[in-house]
Structure 1
Amino acid sequence: MSRVRNALVIGGGVAGPVTAMALHKAGIEATVYEAYPSTADGVGGSLALAPNGQAALEVVGALDAVRATGLPIPKQVMSFGGREVELPRLSGLPPLLLVQRADLYRALYDVAVETGVRFEHGRRLTAIDGTTVRFADGTTATADVVIGADGVHSTVRGLIDPAAPGPRYTGMLGLESIVDHPVPTGTGTMYFSFGKRAYYLFWRRPDGTTHFGANLPQERPMTLREARTVRATDWLARLAAAYGDDEPGGPLVRHIDPAKLTVTGALHIMPPVPRWHRGHVVLVGDAVHAPSNTSGQGASLAIESAVELARCLRDLPDAASAFAAYERMRRPRVEGIAARAAKVNHMKAPGPVMKAVMPVMMRLLLKTAMRPEKAFGHEQRYRVDWSAPVGGAVSATP
């Protein structure tokens, strides 16, 4: 039985509220401290929740609320060089669930509050002294453990290890829009298109409009603030240059209303982080493992890790043993998925060499995708067994 009674969770995005809910379920009091002055309504683009992430949400009682805001995607199609291939699904699993990031934040926040989790907004972390955290407004808070769920640009990560690597830029920026232009497909089908110059994806929404997302090659990374100072018409000109010759990419771009274009910012991945924890402080979610969006697993892995960390703190006698077990449990899985996704990233923003070998690489990618059980079964069939005690031999199913 753990002697950890309470926790401070830094970050109110995805991993933070789920961690707090899982800790509450484990009998550990948790308070979430968020730097933003209010909830994240209207912030961010869209993301996908894989079956394993949905299963982890069910553990903390948040799946129904999140599912109510999302769009199931039972069919996925890959398009390249005029060829379209429907990707087979894993049997017995629910479809991919698309959600707007802001809707996910709100659903998680509402469920967490209902379960008794407390949120403190406008608290930007500046320092950690043992188990006491200090905020920019001069306030402090203390608990048995401190959990850094503060995203890819984590402050907590640098406080654990000043030499820790930072996020790596993928060479792409994310842009999205709801387009008042139909595509010849039914609702619930997502298209992944490796266009002539860059990668994009789209799906039809229930109201007949189309959701368009671009991974636009960009040599220099830009902060979200920088990217949003660029005029929407300038971004549309860039999109037209990248996708204008594609079908249906070109027509979709030409129908984007500048007022409805959303810049979601530079796309980053986290390289392997040497230190996941120090003393009574530990990292969770994107702060310690942020795979490329190519993986389709970023949010799902963050949710899994949040629940698994709570299990370890519930069952092991102290923070040191709980954090060590948590890292042993999670590191091989998250780093393996990140490595798999990184290979695909080169095809989304190809250089001259990659462009030359793209046809061969695409054939290999399609061959892999057509064997989903071997390619993704171990990722999507993973289930957190909340009822199983965590001991010396750490495992999860399958």
Structure 2
Amino acid sequence: MSKVTSALVIGGGIAGPVTALALAKAGIRATVHEAHDSAADGVGAMLSLAPNGLDALRIVGADEVVRGVGQQVPGVVMADGAGTRLAEFGGFPGLPPTLAMPRAALFRALADHAVAAGVRIEYGKRLISAEETPEGVTATFADGTTATADVLIGADGIRSTVRTLIDPGAPGPEYGGVLSFGGYAGDGGVRAEPGVMYFAFGRTFIGYWRLPDGRICWFASLPRTEALTYAEVVRVPAAEWLARLRDLYSGHVPGEKLLAGTDPGDLMITGPMERMPSVPHWHRGRMVLVGDAAHAPSSSSGQGASLAAESAVELARCLRDLPAPEAFAVFERLRRPRVEMIGGDAAAKNKAKAGQAGERPAMPTPEQMFAPVHKHHIHWDAPVTA
């Protein structure tokens, strides 16, 4: 197969626009095809972008627009359920601070930036099939239209259609044993310094930080053996979920106060915590996966968006220097060990949140936890070889 000059990118969330931007930087023309009718406005709750994710976005010129919608939270405090501080961390010198933001704001910022940079994004394009020929790959969408390019890149998330086209036997997302919630609370006497993310462990876990308006945003988990879909979770009244969370966090410092200070209308329901198990096949022929379609690590990692940005840039770098499918194989070799290490760590955290972890191992220092993740850097200008 000759050098790639054009690409169809399926999915307009995080990985899609970043992949298109990186491909453009590599001299490859890409069009993003998104199933929804807009850039997922209002979809999802909060997320964070770590220094490694921001470093990847810097390569494609998208870091500043993301800073415009994010809140800096460079500090980390770890405590136990009684409120005793266990460790503190202020970030690594020379690295940008972690940003917290609404998922929908990140989607919109990346989509708008990509369009301003000349990337074409077509909405209402739900992929149903793809056919390869010696000359390229043609995608067919639910509205009856088609599009053709040299390669097709599946950036279509944890329930990827492209993943099943590459491998009909590919695994789907794996339930992590907990339902995830977030919310906004009044102060309630909880200490929360601006710019610091707090992680309070114990019989259960809650994380939180102070917003610029003075409220506290928190995220927590409710163990449940049997999985529920997101649709099933949202059918239960928010007041009922809040009551269950308050019961679970009774006696937890500061969880009890945060939940007591949260109204049902301020509860964010994110549904079952899921991750992708190891995906055997990331690519086939002219098709390849990127982002959550290949390696969604669950929100316990705090790395889903950052890893998606990293992989988008690394894939474009490989396609810049190598023909497909050789570029796809090198891309997978470069990325699989890192994303599976982070995903495995997140799976262990999910077990702890679900009360399935057994004896808790000694807690590493924050520097030990974050250094191999946050300090990752992609050398864009370095040539990629087989």
TM-score interval, normalised by the smaller of the two chains = over 0.9
State the alpha-carbon separation in 2 of the partners of residues 81 and 251 from structure 1. 12
Aligned to 1:186: 193
State the alpha-carbon separation in 1 of the partners of residues 228 and 24 from structure 2. 38
**For the aligned residues, what is the CA RMSD?**
1.7
Letter paired with 1:4: V
- Please state how far the C-alpha of 1:320 moved relative to its aligned partner: 0.9
Aligned to 1:7: 7
State the alpha-carbon separation in 1 of the partners of residues 238 and 347 from structure 2. 29
Letter paired with 1:93: L
Alignment of 1:264-343 (within 5 A): 264-316=270-322, 318-343=323-348
The answer as to whether partners of 2:87 and 2:365 remain within 8 angstroms in 1 is: no
State the alpha-carbon separation in 1 of the partners of residues 268 and 112 from structure 2. 25
Aligned to 1:169: 175
Letter paired with 1:47: L
Aligned to 1:118: 120
Equivalent in 139, 159, 170 of residue 153 of structure 1? 159
- Please state how far the C-alpha of 1:333 moved relative to its aligned partner: 1.2
State the alpha-carbon separation in 2 of the partners of residues 29 and 388 from structure 1. 21
> Residue 41 of structure 2 aligns to a residue in which SS?
coil
The answer as to whether partners of 1:18 and 1:306 remain within 8 angstroms in 2 is: yes
Alignment of 1:2-151 (within 5 A): 3-82=3-82, 83-88=84-89, 89-130=91-132, 131-151=137-157
Letter paired with 1:194: F
Aligned to 1:390: 384
- Structure 1: state its 5+ residue gaps: 393-398
Alignment of 1:338-349 (within 5 A): 338-349=343-354
- C-alpha deviations, 1:111-137, integer Å up to 9, x for none? 000011111111111111111111112
- Please state how far the C-alpha of 1:94 moved relative to its aligned partner: 2.1
Residues 296-305 or 253-262, more deviating: 253-262
1:239 paired to 2:230 = no
State the alpha-carbon separation in 1 of the partners of residues 226 and 35 from structure 2. 27
- Please state how far the C-alpha of 1:30 moved relative to its aligned partner: 0.9
The answer as to whether partners of 1:173 and 1:215 remain within 8 angstroms in 2 is: yes
State the alpha-carbon separation in 2 of the partners of residues 53 and 161 from structure 1. 28
Residues 242-251 or 276-285, more deviating: 242-251
Letter paired with 1:381: K
- Please state how far the C-alpha of 1:40 moved relative to its aligned partner: 1.2
Runs of 4+ in 1 over 3 A off after TM superposition: none
- C-alpha deviations, 1:134-162, integer Å up to 9, x for none? 11122111111000001111111111001
- C-alpha deviations, 1:348-373, integer Å up to 9, x for none? 1113x72xx34xx3xx12xx125x1x
1:221 paired to 2:221 = no
- C-alpha deviations, 1:231-268, integer Å up to 9, x for none? 11111111111113222211211221222211112111
- Please state how far the C-alpha of 1:2 moved relative to its aligned partner: 6.5
Letter paired with 1:275: H
State the alpha-carbon separation in 1 of the partners of residues 118 and 193 from structure 2. 41
Letter paired with 2:209: W
